[in-house]
Amino acid sequence: MDNASKALIMAGAILIAVMLISLGVYLFTQGQEIANTSSKGLNQQMINSHNQQFEKYFTSSTETITGTQANSLAAELRTYNAQRDLVGTYGSITPSTGGNNQAYTTVFSASQRYNVTGTYYANTSQFAGCLEHVNITVASTSTTGG
């Protein structure tokens, strides 16, 4: 009888140990899910912050920006590119005398109106939703606004 009670005590101890290990694994998994969720939220905040610094210049089909605003955008693009060692790779104007990606050397005419749009990374990219390229184009004369 004494051996049977010791066997039951050992079985109970093993059962409790397995339950504690299972609880530890469960809590660890939940903690990782919470960390991953908050990390994704932070990344989305960073993407939004990055996009907003240039999207404030974006125009619709019925509005344009002035040459002064286009020059401000070009200055922001130059600063952004210089900080990341991306000389001329982030902004472009169309048409351009020096080819594509010339926003960093272009001075926009104060008397001209411009349209601004952007290209975003595809959802399959690690930078999904992040602004990839800013396009500054000369507006047609029928477009107004500001």
CA distance 93 to 57: 14
**pLDDT score for 144:** 47
pLDDT digits (tens, 9 = 90+) for 80-111: 777 766 544 455 544 444 444 455 556 778 88
Determine contact, residues 68/62, Cβ cutoff 8 Å: no
Furthest-apart CA atoms within the chain: distance in Å: 103
**pLDDT score for 85:** 63
**pLDDT score for 98:** 44
Determine contact, residues 63/56, Cβ cutoff 8 Å: no
Instruction: Count the Cβ atoms, other than its own, within 10 Å of residue 115.
Output: 20
Determine contact, residues 88/104, Cβ cutoff 8 Å: yes
Mean pLDDT, residues 62-75: 86
Residue 5, SS3?
A: helix
Which of 84, 64, 78, 134 lies closest to 106, judged by CA?
A: 78
**pLDDT score for 114:** 86
Higher pLDDT, 112 or 97: 112
> What would the two tokens of residue 28 be?
């660890």
Higher pLDDT, 73 or 142: 73
Percent of the chain having pLDDT more than 70?
Answer: 74
**pLDDT score for 97:** 43
pLDDT digits (tens, 9 = 90+) for 15-61: 999 999 999 999 998 888 877 766 665 577 888 888 888 889 898 87
Residues near 111 by Cβ (< 8 Å), separated by ≥ 6? 67
- Please state the pTM of the whole predicted model: 0.57
